[in-house]
Amino acid sequence: MRVITGIARGRNLEALPGDDVRPTYDRVKEAMFSIIQFEIEGRRVLDLFAGSGQLGIEALSRGAQSATFIDNSKKSIEIVRKNLAAVKMSDKATVIQADAASFMANCAGRFDIAFLDTPYDSKLIEKVLPDVARRMAEGGVIICETDLSGELPETAEDFNIYRTYKYGKTKITVYRRENI
């Protein structure tokens, strides 16, 4: 697993061993960032269910202003911090060990880009999606990664499914506000 492009291009990132964390494949990650390539510079990013932090770190490498990494696992948070230090981006990051639903229910910040990459067999995206939508800035985009059979709601607050993309066994669902 590596940073694909930007100021940390080519840097290897660590992931937890075992099946607890499922890193996003480089091909899928590259496709995600192609979707939003002109929307990253200077933006505030939320990497919910951060795992290794690779999505938020990729955004920082491509010019995002800041990234907030949330994960419930202490081991994942340690890996996120280690990866941020390795790419020298800790100063642009906020790393919080918390349950995603609790964090979103109490979050006061606004985000421009949100990545939701939960364990594939969980229903966590559906649970937090409305709260994430309420915390998005004008022009924000929410990107969800699920397996191909993952069905997400058509709407979340004033966000609608804009488009879905399929890559092997992975489905990317992009939410945008209707007026965008």
How many structural domains comprise the chain? Answer: 1
**Terminal-to-terminal C-alpha distance of the chain:** 33
Does residue 6 form part of some domain?
Answer: no
pTM of the entire predicted model? 0.93
Does residue 138 form part of some domain?
Answer: yes
Q: What is the pLDDT of residues 126-167, one digit of tens each?
A: 899 999 999 999 999 999 999 888 889 999 999 999 999 998
CATH number at residue 140: 3.40.50.150
Range of the domain at 82: 26-177
Q: What is the pLDDT of residues 113-127, one digit of tens each?
A: 999 988 766 678 889
